[in-house]
Amino acid sequence: MSDRASAEARSAESISRNVAGGSLRAEDLLDEVVSRIGASDPKLGAFVHFDPTEARGALERCPREGKLAGVPFAAKDNISTRGTLTTCASRILEGYRSPTDATVISRLAGAGAWVAGKTNLDEFAMGSSTEHSVFGPTSNPWDTSRVPGGSSGGSAAAVAAGIVPFALGSDTGGSVRQPASFCGVVGLKPTWGRVSRSGLVAFASSLDQIGVFSRSARDCARVLGVIAGHDPLDSTSSLEAVPDYEERLEQGLGGVRVGVVDGTWESLDAEMRSSFERSLGILRSLGATIDRVALPSLGLSIAVYYIVANAEASANLARFDGIRYGRRASGDLSLRETWVRSRTEGFGDEVKRRIMLGTFALSSGYYDAYYGRAQQVRAAISAEFRRAFEDVDLIAMPTTPSVAFRKGEKLDDPLAMYLSDVFTAPANLAGIPAISVPADVSAGGLPIGLQFLGPHFGESLLLRAARAMESEVSLPRIAPGF
């Protein structure tokens, strides 16, 4: 088998079956990961911390049985891993080693999966291109002159290049789904509260959710089944029972009512629009019905998102002051100078921009005009989704307004960068689950994703829709050239 074919065959499901059955040694998988990172990562820059000795340690600590026996995975570098580096791609967390594993990491280890390495991101998960990283950018495996999306671009690239079968990211406004779409892989943002956030470095707590990248709906379902569920360490994690996400995966879309939202895809460029319409045709051919639904406040999502997210970020990042958390500026400094210098040296430009915008929106005299208004519109968006899900079972929407853009293209234009979240931020504002699934490839050879959104705790149906779509479109599971 060629190296590419063997990587394609390495799904989480098949690895765990073979490791548990004794026909595959997990140690051999470590050698495979080491050689794949050695061959691919110089071109991609997906991994920011990879140490074969630490990876071996993670492998040795986990059982050779369980739903993910022997399966390697990558974790975005804002998810804490015990004893190894967790830096959020920020200078302020240079050299930081977490004393504990995030709950998702310990749950995966309990099921037999081991963390191979940590992946690149926009600093503190703020961005849509993985260019705002102290380690430099990650490249898109489909075209290395382009961005992989962000902020979880390293995780998306690692899965798309066949280095690991799945990876974890975080999604505050689209950071799992948008890079999944740009890199041609599956990306799921669960319902807010479905997966514990304990050990995830907070960006905007009311929007943040840990999500999954994989090359198939089945692997995504399996990983979600392991990481979902209540966690005493995260009081906002839900008590709702975790269903068997794999059980109904193959049930298809017969009779499922899919909604499309007026005023979303009609203004896309010709190629994105016709690709979306083609996807709707596929859904119809699978037995789904397509109905139009109205979400009149959806157009305000970006404005609302960037007020709420930045306000929460400004509060969450206050702890990085060089004293309680974070690298301390050196020299004979007063308390005030220590704060100012540590934050000035430690944070990059985009993070500073967010802190300033968020602080402004929360400041006295402006609070009602910005933050208060934004919360009202957020509530209206949630209510419109609730109403829509009385008429349809799920909503289909493009994941992104364009295919992966070129590196540097939006770097000097923050607003253009923010607008790439137009279709993903609404799910975070409403706290509902959403998945991006590879649906098409553009004339220029770049992946195009399709997004499904569902009601709270509707992950089973989203995964079923993703599975149905994947069975109809045959696209490379690993980027051509890897």
- Least separation in angstroms between residue 423's CB and ligand GLN is 12
CA distance 39 to 248: 38
Query: Is residue 151 flagged as an active site residue?
Result: yes
Smaller CB separation from ligand GLN, 139 or 172: 172
Residue 75 or 126: which CB sits closer to ligand GLN? Answer: 126
CB of 227 vs ligand GLN, minimal distance in Å: 18
Nearest approach, Cβ of residue 190 and ligand GLN (Å): 13
Return the number of the residue (307 or 388) whose C-beta is nearest ligand GLN. 307
| Contact pick of 90, 175, 238, 264 for ligand GLN (by CB under 6 A) | 175
Decide whether 270 or 415 has the Cβ nearer to ligand GLN: 415
CA–CA separation, 176 and 436 (whole Å)? 8
Candidate residues 18, 80, 172, 216; the one interacting with ligand GLN per rule CB under 6 A: 172
Please, what is the minimum distance in Å from the beta carbon of residue 252 to ligand GLN?
31
Return the residue of 309, 396, 404, 450 that touches ligand GLN, per CB under 6 A: 309
Peptide bond into 151 cis (omega under 30): yes
Q: Is 76 designated active site?
A: yes
Least distance in angstroms from the C-beta of 166 to ligand GLN: 18
Burial 40-55 (b: 16+ CB within 10 A, else e): bbeebbbbbbbeeebb
Least distance (Å) from ligand GLN to the CB of residue 48? 16
Phi-psi region at 193: left, alpha or beta (left = phi > 0; alpha = psi -120 to 50): left
- Footprint on residues 114-143 left by ligand GLN (CB under 6 A): 125-128
- Report if residue 301 touches ligand GLN, rule: CB under 6 A: no
Among candidate residues 16, 40, 67, 76, the one labeled active-site is 76
- Which positions from 199 to 218 touch ligand GLN by CB under 6 A, shown as an x/- string? ----x---------------
Site for ligand GLN in 445-474 (CB under 6 A): none
Beta bridge partners of 228: 195
d(CA 262, CA 293): 6
H or E stretch including 283? Answer: helix 270-285
Q: Which of 40, 86, 133, 151 binds ligand GLN (CB under 6 A)?
A: 151
Indicate the SS3 state at residue 343: helix
User: Which CB, 339 or 405, lies closer to ligand GLN?
Assistant: 405
Evaluate whether 231 touches 103 at the Cβ level (below 8 Å).
yes
**257-261 vs 447-453, strand pairing mode:** unpaired
Q: Residue 187, interface with ligand GLN (CB under 6 A)?
A: no
| Sole binder of ligand GLN in the list 112, 148, 153, 174 (CB under 6 A) | 174
Which range binds ligand GLN by CB under 6 A, 21-29, 47-55, 166-174, 366-374? 166-174
- The secondary structure element, H or E, covering residue 339 is helix 335-346
| Axis crossing angle, helix 26-44 with helix 52-61, rounded to the nearest 10 | 140
Query: Which CB sits closer to ligand GLN, 133 or 342?
Result: 133
What DSSP assignment string belongs to 102-165? -HHHHHHHHTT-EEEEEE--SGGG--SSS-S-TT-PPPBTTBTTB---SSSHHHHHHHHTTS-S
Q: Contact, 379 vs 430, CB < 8 A? A: no
Beta carbon nearer to ligand GLN, 181 or 342:
181
Residue placing its CB nearer to ligand GLN in the complex, 126 or 163 = 126
Q: Is 267 a catalytic residue?
A: no
CB 143 → ligand GLN: shortest distance, Å?
A: 20
Candidates 226, 229, 227, 224; CA nearest to 241 is: 229
Residue closest to ligand GLN (Cβ): 175
C-beta separation of 438 from 478 below 8 A: no
Q: Using CB atoms within 10 Å of the CB of residue 462, give its burial: 0 to 12 exposed, 13 to 18 middle, 19+ buried.
A: buried
Q: In angstroms, give the least distance from the CB of 128 to ligand GLN.
A: 4
Nearest by Cα to 10 from 203, 208, 219: 219
Given the residues 106, 128, 133, 151, the one annotated as active site: 151
Q: Which is nearer to ligand GLN, 34 or 360 (CB)?
A: 360
Tell me how crowded residue 273 is: count the other CB atoms within 10 A of its CB.
14
For ligand GLN, the binding residue among 101, 143, 312, 421 (CB under 6 A) is 421
Give catalytic residue positions: 76, 151, 175
* Chain residues that interact with ligand GLN, rule: CB under 6 A: 125-128, 151, 170-175, 203, 309, 421
